[in-house]
Amino acid sequence: MHEFLKWAGYSLEAALLWRLLTWHAWRHFPLFSCYFLILLLRQGLNAYLETRYGFSSPVYARGFWLSSNLTDVWKLLVAWEVFRKAFRPGTDARRFAGVLLAATLVGFSVFYLLGGAHDTNFFVAVGLNFSLVVAIWVFGVLALAQYYNISLGRNLWGIAMGLGLFSSTAVVNFSALGLNEEAFPVFSYVRPASFVISLLIWVCCLWSHRPPPAPPPPASSLDSHGSTGPLDAARETVGRALRLNPPRSSKD
């Protein structure tokens, strides 16, 4: 099973790299392109360390966890890119997504500072917290886009869905390791399998450049509040959310 996942991952990575280079994806999604490059470099580094020092070597373990945490931190930047490209500045959806990110980061920071993270492995705690923040934020962006009837386009939707899936399964994996490191043989299939599925999503959705449709004109935009101030706009937004009613356009 491990061999199948490994070679399936290599094949999908090669296909994704080819397609990203074909339509110059780094011009449209620079942070995601850097994230994918970091993943490739991490795999090469881990393969070299395993060959040079052995799988059980402390050198390999340090290289594995440091590179893993680097990719976990970079995922937050990819989530920021999804957020920035999904919502136009000044819209209700962008304000909600920004509040969601701020509340999540503050909550986990307070939780960590108060001693809520009791993992014996610091690297596991870092991977768990960052993966959970990314999963909450990305799926929150997707939910708000659906709520406000915002089309993300095939490319952006694929990046968000693949990243959210990979981060969610990473939370499960890191949680199991934090509770009991003996669970590693059982959960060693979870993260590779989810990575292969995420790669498949990325290959399908990033096969070619598919930008989102043009936004509606300002006269019928979702955030037309006239001359109301920011507090009035915030109250109206919260009220709509509590009533679970999507915002109406000015045509209504």
In angstroms, the CA 73 to CA 159 distance is 16
Greatest C-alpha distance within the chain: 67
Average pLDDT on 92-113 reads: 76
Domain positions in the chain are 2-209
Please report the pLDDT score of residue 219 as a whole number. Answer: 40
Please report the pLDDT score of residue 115 as a whole number. Answer: 55
In angstroms, the CA 57 to CA 74 distance is 26
| pLDDT higher than 80, residue 239 | no
With beta carbons less than 8 A apart as the criterion, state whether 206 and 16 touch.
Answer: yes
Average pLDDT on 77-104 reads: 86
Q: Could you tell me which residue, 25 or 245, shows the higher pLDDT?
A: 25
Q: Can you read off the two tokens belonging to residue 237?
A: 């937004």
Average pLDDT on 19-34 reads: 94
Please report the pLDDT score of residue 162 as a whole number. Answer: 96
Please report the pLDDT score of residue 238 as a whole number. Answer: 53
Mean pLDDT rounded to a whole number for the chain: 80
pLDDT-derived band at 103, boundaries 50, 70, 90: confident
pLDDT-derived band at 211, boundaries 50, 70, 90: confident
At residue 39's C-alpha, the angle toward residues 37 and 186, to 5°, is: 165
| pLDDT higher than 90, residue 204 | yes
Please report the pLDDT score of residue 185 as a whole number. Answer: 62
Please report the pLDDT score of residue 242 as a whole number. Answer: 52
Please report the pLDDT score of residue 206 as a whole number. Answer: 96
In angstroms, the CA 204 to CA 139 distance is 19
Please report the pLDDT score of residue 228 as a whole number. Answer: 45
With beta carbons less than 8 A apart as the criterion, state whether 73 and 128 touch.
Answer: no
Which amino acid belongs to residue 186?
V
| pLDDT higher than 70, residue 178 | no
23: nearest Cα among 210, 205, 212, 208: 208
pLDDT in tens, 30-76: 999 999 999 999 999 999 999 999 988 999 999 999 999 999 999 99
Q: Could you tell me which residue, 116 or 91, shows the higher pLDDT?
A: 91
| pLDDT higher than 60, residue 21 | yes
pLDDT in tens, 105-150: 777 767 666 655 554 577 877 888 888 889 988 998 898 888 888 8
Q: What is the DSSP letter of 120?
A: S
Number of continuous H segments (helices) and E segments (strands) in the chain: 9, 0
| pLDDT higher than 90, residue 192 | no
Please report the pLDDT score of residue 177 as a whole number. Answer: 64
